[in-house]
Amino acid sequence: MTTVIRLGETAPAVPVRLTGEQVRRLAATGLVEVRPGPAAGIWLVRADRRVGAARVGDIDLYVTPKVPIDRLLFLAGYARDPKGWHAQAVPMASHDELVSAFAEALWRQVDRGTRPGLIQGYLATDATSSVLRGRLRETQQLSRWLGSPLPLEVRYDEFTVDIPENRILATALDQLLRMPGVGPQARRMLRHLAGRFTGVTRLRPGEPLPHWRPSRLNTRLQPALRLAELVLAGRSVETAEGVVAVNGLMLDMARVFEEFLTVALRERIEGRYGGRVVAQEIGYLDHGRRIPIRPDLTWRRSGQPLAVIDAKYKREVPASDAYQMLAYCTAYGLARGHLVYVTGDDAPVRHVVGDARTEIVCHSLDLDQPPNDLLRSVDELADEISRSGTAVVGEFR
């Protein structure tokens, strides 16, 4: 019998009756927090910032995000393809579950992209053959066959449908078919579309996604590929005990927000004000380079740091965030640092730190806004950050 657990993102814990084995498996995934409840066999389960749905053994876990599903799809998709996401959006007003929304979005995009047929490409293939095809792999020939004329170790290019793009799409379709929360119509369509990928190798669990490049050949598949990559990102979870198989789609909202903000700010700051916006740049707080720091975003021009920005997927402003930003400003010799939170449309809150004359600016972004309004808010944020780009310690504008 399947145990169904429904939670809200960062909502209060829910009491659930679980066996010891269920508790062990669920806790090992790290997807939720599990602690003893008020009675024997009752456990309190709470979700933090991982949202979506997952099947862990005989447990179906659902975590509803705070932001609307269509907004979450926009945030995640924009971070992967900022120029094309608007035209690729699928209406999601009828969905209140993340997996069902992804299932519909994916099958519609895959159907649209593969209706004319699967794209093909050349794939380098290593094989043992009785005839020379392509070119001889001399090192393998000598080491394996000790100078024998036959068989031959060869490498040749094969024109085939078994290419990275099709492998990613086929695996994502199969993955969604194993997930909880996929409705009957979407399941029928996914199964029908999976049949189009005959002769395409599915990726094994834990296998990294093969590399593909946008090109004229795969233009019609690019929207589906971006969605498929998101689906496959949640198929396993690394734990201290190894890899726990998770049939589902669980997105880390903190990472989604950070990736969206990184891409959106980079586009605007570099496009309008020049320089380079670097994500996760490693620096050092001390001259001995023994205390590393890594801001989410560092804006530089000609090697000179102009601003540091940290994305914080939270509504409060804890003191620890301010201490962290103060360390960044100290290390880079900046008068201002920028923290970006997910709150309402509030004016930036500014904290001036004593004699150090350092200002920490706490901005807010309302993720409930429609996409165009949200991007306009990012424009305003980029303008505000640029105004501090020429400030040095001790100089406020």
The CA distances from residue 97 to 107, 225, 231, 367, in Å, are 16, 21, 14, 18
Q: What is the pLDDT of residue 117?
A: 93
Domain boundary among 160, 190, 224: 160
Q: What is the pLDDT of residue 345?
A: 61
What ranges in the chain are assigned the alpha helix state H? 20-29, 69-80, 85-88, 98-114, 138-145, 164-177, 184-194, 222-233, 253-273, 319-332, 371-387
Does residue 329 belong to any structural domain of this protein? yes
Domain boundary among 138, 160, 182: 160
Does residue 320 belong to any structural domain of this protein? yes
Does residue 312 belong to any structural domain of this protein? yes
Residues 258 and 146 reside in one and the same domain: no
Nearest alpha carbon to residue 211 among 193, 200, 225: 225
Adjacency order of strands within the sheet including 121-129: 121-129, 152-160, 135-136
Q: What is the pLDDT of residue 54?
A: 87
Nearest alpha carbon to residue 375 among 71, 131, 169, 135: 71
Residues 258 and 377 reside in one and the same domain: yes
Does residue 6 belong to any structural domain of this protein? no
> What is the tens place of the pLDDT at every residue in 210-233?
999 999 999 999 989 988 998 887
Does residue 127 belong to any structural domain of this protein? yes
Torsions phi, psi for 5 (to 5 deg): -120, 125
How many structural domains compose the chain?
Answer: 2
Residues 371 and 259 reside in one and the same domain: yes
Q: What is the pLDDT of residue 81?
A: 75
Provide block-wise average pLDDT over 10 residues at a time, the chain (397 residues).
91 95 89 93 94 88 89 86 57 64 90 93 77 74 73 77 95 92 91 95 87 91 90 60 64 93 95 94 92 95 94 87 93 93 78 83 91 93 83 41
Query: Domain containing 381 — which CATH number?
Result: 3.90.1570
Does residue 373 belong to any structural domain of this protein? yes
Which residue range forms the structural domain that includes residue 136? 121-160
CA separation for the pair 126, 135 (Å, rounded): 10
Domain boundary among 160, 176, 207: 160
Does residue 248 belong to any structural domain of this protein? no
CA separation for the pair 319, 338 (Å, rounded): 14
> What is the tens place of the pLDDT at every residue in 282-292?
999 999 999 99
Torsions phi, psi for 234 (to 5 deg): -105, 20
Q: What is the pLDDT of residue 240?
A: 40
CA separation for the pair 392, 397 (Å, rounded): 10
Does residue 280 belong to any structural domain of this protein? yes
